Amino acid sequence: MDNFSILIGGQAGFGIDKAGSIIASILNQLGYRLYVYRDYPSIIRGGHTFSIIRASRKRIATHQNKIDFLLALNQDTVSFHRQRLKDNSVIIYDSDVAKLEAEPTTIKAIEVPLTKIIKEEKAAEVMRNTCLIGAFCKIAGIEWNVIENVLRKNIAKDIDLNLKVAQRGYNEVAEVTKIERISQSSLPLLTGNEAISLGLIKAGLKTYIAYPMTPSSPILHFLAGLAEDFGLKVIHPESEIGVVLMALGFTYAGEKVAVGTSGGGFCLMAEGLSFAGMAELPLVIIVGQRPGPSTGLPTYSAQTELHFVQNAGQGEFPRFIVAPGDAEEAYYWSAMALNIAWKYQIPAFILSDKNLGEGTFNFDMDAIEGIKEEGAILWDGKSPYKRYLVTENGVSPLAFVPEKEAIIKVNSYEHDEFGITTEDPQITNMMQEKRLRKGEYILEELKEYKTVNIYGNKNSSIALLCWGSNKGLCVEAAENLSLKVIQPIVLSPFPNEEFKEAIKGAKKLICVENNATGQLGRLISSYGFKVDEKILKYDGRPFALDELEDRLNAYLKKVL
Amino acid sequence: MELKGLATYAKNTWCPGCGNFAILNAIKAVLSELNTEGYPLEKFVLVSGIGCHAKIVDYLNLNSFYSIHGRVVPVAEGIKLADPNLKVIGFAGDGDAYGEGIEHLIFAAKRNIDITMIIHNNRVYGLTTGQYTPTSPLGFKGRSTPQGTVELPINPLELMLASGATFLARGTSHGIELLKKIFKQAILHKGFALVDVLQVCVTYFNMYEYYDKRVYELTNHRISDYQQALTKIREWDYNNDLQIGLGVFYKKDSSTFEENFITKRVKIDRDLKIRKLLKEA
């Protein structure tokens, strides 16, 4: 099996997420490349939650609707997902709580009395998931020692009982198929949120400040867990307003800081963002998108904040926006965002979403181009210090408190070079132009980087236009259908020249986006480019590979 | 143009007779005094909000962060947490601190973070030309309430005491000597300190005469006694016409947020640690 998917499902509180991670780790040990999609409602107990673990011989970053194994901890999982089964799929289910409907005879249904086993072992009900993993592994022909190693690494509490329960599941069933070991070394598994966090650490992050909000809370939790080890300050203040203003205080004192939220929290940060623009205070803001308007679907995904992030905050000031598409890009471009923020003293956004942030990807550090921490341009200590010295590229050298020889004044009002309030028309013009000049210099610097990626059949006259978490999806679909893919990573300042170069030869441009209006399509139209077709999905769920391929085929049939 | 002494070249634009002058002169005197006592001036950072009060940072030749309306406190907290050796003094108006930014004030008091907040409480919005604020008395006729307000003012000191502030004091802009004394104690206090200054807006709410008739300095007051502090704080509720106590109401020694917060900076090879972490992932 070169490419297969496993769906494990149950209620919130059944340990579905953990079980999905463990299955992914087991398959990772066997040399497979993985992607995990997590689907869960906004509740703590109950409802329906599931993970799809997709494994392949080659790198992947998207899931498929059709599955090969259905692992059911309750009846809902069987009922909701049976339409995903292929002719020869395998269902493994807790026969004490779930019944099968009339499934085609080609489907292999394997019942395991998970509830009974748990009772016999006097184990907690949540351990049904470990028992099910044991049964799955035996059915898939996976050796016991692989499971044992992974369980020991992933479970701290009651590991002996967990192993025993897993073994009971393992021994309860017989081998049905064989997931062969692949001879390639395994790669670490990271969520997009973890990759963002590590990229920021790489570029010198000292402080992370956030108010909890899905899908960015995992960054707060992950960094809080690393705080002691990495010497980080991780703070959870009273509100997103507190978050962003506190962050600006850190920046003023010379500490590299990032904040993270979703669209709703970012609404509260808009005044702080504009302040950062005026006072030229470096700041990294992670916006993990989810469907709106308002509370929307809190635990699902969307790509709806491109224009919000692009335009938020009163006044005009440059900002850097990057939309990474997988774990390696999340790592690399988060580090870049922190570097650019400090080099140019501007706000920099990492535009993520639930699919990227909470999706699990393989992570290959060796595939990432070298990136290192870059410092700010510092005051030479000679001339009298002017916080807002007007320079050719608009960047004023920085000094940080306490500095014996410098008085450091920042100001939200329009100000002169010393930072003292002014309403003088000439100084106003000079300062506005100084700030905006930085945007032009960033664009110039970005020419050294790959800000627009091209994948698939580069000679195809039909190109998919995508951004962020749809990258892996579009690349795989394009490879299968022999199309071209264009993925701008930097969205502000917009790399117009590079984009123009990338779309050369493309006669039809199809934007693929998780929103209802085609936001990237709209953005490029302001630079004189035009999309010919929009393939949009805005129900909160990501495109599945097979789903996108169907929609592309329907379009191609129409135009070819 | 070079900045000299504690004053800057910025032209002062407060109205003649504005209560802000007393605060400016008092803080200048206190900071000079602290400087001669060994506190380096570069270790002071002044933060202000938006409103007439906020111009104070333009008039002081010191490190400053001219912030936005209501957000003095989180900025001051961020600076303090980044470098706990700094002395961070926040200036805010009553609309600023007790209105738009009240949540931050409550949380800073709750954390007992070691910053000093000086509130220019003129009980009216000056720069927006005369509207009522959270501390305006009932029936205040402002431009947004021509028939008079129908809500009672809050008593900010009572709110701060309940929130966990460890230093609370009140002064007026007709009493610079007392202001100096209080400011110095507030700045030297380890923990969250708030000074409510009944600072008079001569243009929109001239209360000089009213205050002069009613103010008295607290005597025989045990500042470490919570109950006594509460009683004294409740004596004048910003609405009744009773006498108005001035001085330090409350002071308590308690550990601060930044002391308890893990701030241990470790010298590490980040690359090595990231690689190690990935091995486990």
pLDDT, averaged across chain A: 97
Q: Which of A241, A404, A413 sits opposite B66 (nearest CB)?
A: A413
- ipTM comes to 0.96
Is residue A228 less than 8 Å (CB to CB) from chain B? yes
CB contacts of B76 in chain A (<8 Å) are 249
Task: Inform me whether the pLDDT recorded for A103 exceeds 90.
Answer: no
What is the model's pLDDT at position A91? 97
Task: Inform me whether the pLDDT recorded for B87 exceeds 50.
Answer: yes
Range of the domain at A215: 189-367
- Cβ B10–A272 below 8 Å, yes or no? no
The answer to whether position A10 is within a domain reads yes
Task: Inform me whether the pLDDT recorded for A167 exceeds 50.
Answer: yes
Same domain, A37 and A119: yes
Is residue A144 less than 8 Å (CB to CB) from chain B? no
Same domain, A12 and A112: yes
- Cβ A275–B45 below 8 Å, yes or no? no
- Cβ A365–B263 below 8 Å, yes or no? no
User: For the segment A40-64, what is each residue's pLDDT rounded down to a tens digit?
Assistant: 998 888 899 999 999 999 999 999 9
- Which of A306, A332, A367 is at the close of a domain? A367
The pLDDT-based confidence of B1 (bands split at 50, 70, 90) is very low
The pLDDT-based confidence of B4 (bands split at 50, 70, 90) is low
What is the model's pLDDT at position A289? 98
The answer to whether position B1 is within a domain reads no
Helix (H, G, I), strand (E, B) or coil at A216: coil
Same domain, A240 and A356: yes
Q: Which of A243, A384, A409 sits opposite B64 (nearest CB)?
A: A409
- Cβ B83–A413 below 8 Å, yes or no? no
Q: Which of B2, B263, B279 sits opposite A233 (nearest CB)?
A: B263
Residue A251: phi and psi, rounded to 5, are -60, -45
Percent of chain A with pLDDT over 70: 100
CB contacts of B266 in chain A (<8 Å) are 229-231
Q: To probe the interface with B, which of A420, A421, A422, A423 has the most B CB atoms within 10 Å?
A: A420
What is the model's pLDDT at position B2? 39
| Surface of A (165-184) touching B: CB under 8 A | none
The two tokens of residue A162 are: 């967990």
| Surface of A (37-96) touching B: CB under 8 A | none
Range of the domain at B255: 20-280
The residue type at A228: E
What is the model's pLDDT at position A226? 95
What is the model's pLDDT at position A1? 81
Q: What CATH number is associated with residue A518? A: 3.40.50.920
Distance (Å) of CA B224 to CA A365, B168, B251: 58, 11, 5
- How near does any CA of chain A get to the CA of B58, in Å? 6
Same domain, A81 and A213: no
User: What is the widest separation between alpha-carbon atoms in chain B?
Assistant: 74
The two tokens of residue A353 are: 């979403």
Distance, in Å, from the CA atom of A49 to the CA atom of A52, rounded to the nearest integer, reads 10
Distance, in Å, from the CA atom of A377 to the CA atom of A357, rounded to the nearest integer, reads 32
Distance (Å) of CA B221 to CA A322, A423, B178, B245: 59, 48, 16, 11
Question: How many A-B residue pairs are in contact by the CB < 8 A criterion?
Answer: 170
The answer to whether position A227 is within a domain reads yes
Is residue A378 less than 8 Å (CB to CB) from chain B? no
The answer to whether position B15 is within a domain reads no
Same domain, A282 and A195: yes
Same domain, A93 and A206: no
The answer to whether position B192 is within a domain reads yes
Q: For the purposes of burial, counting CB atoms within 10 Å of the CB of A429, is it exposed (0-12), middle (13-18) or buried (19 or more)?
A: exposed
User: For the segment A415-455, what is each residue's pLDDT rounded down to a tens digit?
Assistant: 999 999 999 999 999 999 999 999 999 999 999 999 999 99
Residue A423 Cα to chain centre, angstroms: 43
CB contacts of A404 in chain B (<8 Å) are 40, 42
**Residues 6+ away with beta carbon under 8 Å from A275:** A245, A248, A281, A412, B67, B68
Same domain, A292 and A225: yes
What is the model's pLDDT at position B262? 65
Going through B101-213 in order, the beta strands assigned E by DSSP cover: 116-121, 167-172, 193-198
What is the model's pLDDT at position A375? 86
Same domain, A84 and A207: no
- Cβ A189–B271 below 8 Å, yes or no? no
| Surface of A (398-427) touching B: CB under 8 A | 401-404, 406-413, 415, 418-421
The pLDDT-based confidence of B263 (bands split at 50, 70, 90) is low
**Residues 6+ away with beta carbon under 8 Å from A52:** A5, A6, A7, A36, A37, A39, A63, A64, A67
User: For the segment A360-395, what is each residue's pLDDT rounded down to a tens digit?
Assistant: 999 999 999 889 999 899 999 998 999 999 999 999
The two tokens of residue A109 are: 């249904």
The answer to whether position A27 is within a domain reads yes
Q: What is the mean pLDDT of residues A268-283?
A: 98
From B59, which residue of chain A is nearest by alpha-carbon distance? A420
User: For the segment B13-28, what is each residue's pLDDT rounded down to a tens digit?
Assistant: 999 999 999 999 999 9
Task: Inform me whether the pLDDT recorded for B264 exceeds 70.
Answer: no
The pLDDT-based confidence of B5 (bands split at 50, 70, 90) is confident
The answer to whether position A433 is within a domain reads no
Q: Residues B83, A223, A52, CA angle at the centre, nearest 5°?
A: 165
Distance, in Å, from the CA atom of B140 to the CA atom of B207, rounded to the nearest integer, reads 13
Q: Which of A194, A247, A406 sits opposite B78 (nearest CB)?
A: A247
Same domain, A111 and A153: yes
Distance, in Å, from the CA atom of A141 to the CA atom of A97, rounded to the nearest integer, reads 25
Secondary structure of chain B: what % helix, strand, coil (to 5)?
Answer: 40, 20, 45
The answer to whether position A33 is within a domain reads yes
Task: Inform me whether the pLDDT recorded for B265 exceeds 80.
Answer: no
Q: What is the mean pLDDT of residues A155-172?
A: 96
Lookup result for tokens 């906004």: A42
Q: Which of A250, A407, A409 sits opposite B81 (nearest CB)?
A: A250
- Which of A347, A367, A387 is at the close of a domain? A367
Tally of domains within chain A? 3
- How near does any CA of chain B get to the CA of A431, in Å? 17
- How near does any CA of chain A get to the CA of B256, in Å? 15
Same domain, A159 and A249: no
User: For the segment A508-539, what is each residue's pLDDT rounded down to a tens digit?
Assistant: 999 999 999 999 999 999 999 999 999 999 99
The answer to whether position A391 is within a domain reads no
Q: Please name which of A15, A148, A7 lies closest in space to residue A67, comparing C-alpha atoms.
A: A7
Q: What CATH number is associated with residue A109? A: 3.40.920.10
Q: What CATH number is associated with residue B48? A: 3.40.50.970
- Which of A115, A138, A172 is at the close of a domain? A172
- How near does any CA of chain A get to the CA of B93, in Å? 16
- Cβ A409–B66 below 8 Å, yes or no? yes
- Cβ A384–B2 below 8 Å, yes or no? yes
Q: Which of A198, A237, A404 sits opposite B107 (nearest CB)?
A: A237
User: For the segment A444-479, what is each residue's pLDDT rounded down to a tens digit?
Assistant: 999 999 999 999 999 999 999 999 999 999 999 999
Task: Inform me whether the pLDDT recorded for A160 exceeds 70.
Answer: yes
Q: To probe the interface with A, which of B66, B267, B275 has the most A CB atoms within 10 Å?
A: B66
- Cβ A401–B74 below 8 Å, yes or no? no
The answer to whether position A203 is within a domain reads yes
Tally of domains within chain B? 1
- Cβ B71–A229 below 8 Å, yes or no? no
User: For the segment A58-76, what is each residue's pLDDT rounded down to a tens digit?
Assistant: 999 999 999 999 999 999 9
From A399, which residue of chain B is nearest by alpha-carbon distance? B63
Contact A492, A519 (CB under 8 A): no
Same domain, A168 and A204: no
Q: What is the mean pLDDT of residues A211-235?
A: 96
The answer to whether position A500 is within a domain reads yes
The pLDDT-based confidence of B131 (bands split at 50, 70, 90) is very high
- Cβ A239–B103 below 8 Å, yes or no? yes
Task: Inform me whether the pLDDT recorded for A12 exceeds 50.
Answer: yes
- Cβ B103–A401 below 8 Å, yes or no? no
- How near does any CA of chain A get to the CA of B189, in Å? 20
Same domain, A8 and A40: yes
Lookup result for tokens 């062969």: A180
Distance, in Å, from the CA atom of B96 to the CA atom of B78, rounded to the nearest integer, reads 18
- Cβ B68–A254 below 8 Å, yes or no? no
User: For the segment A22-38, what is each residue's pLDDT rounded down to a tens digit?
Assistant: 999 999 999 999 999 99
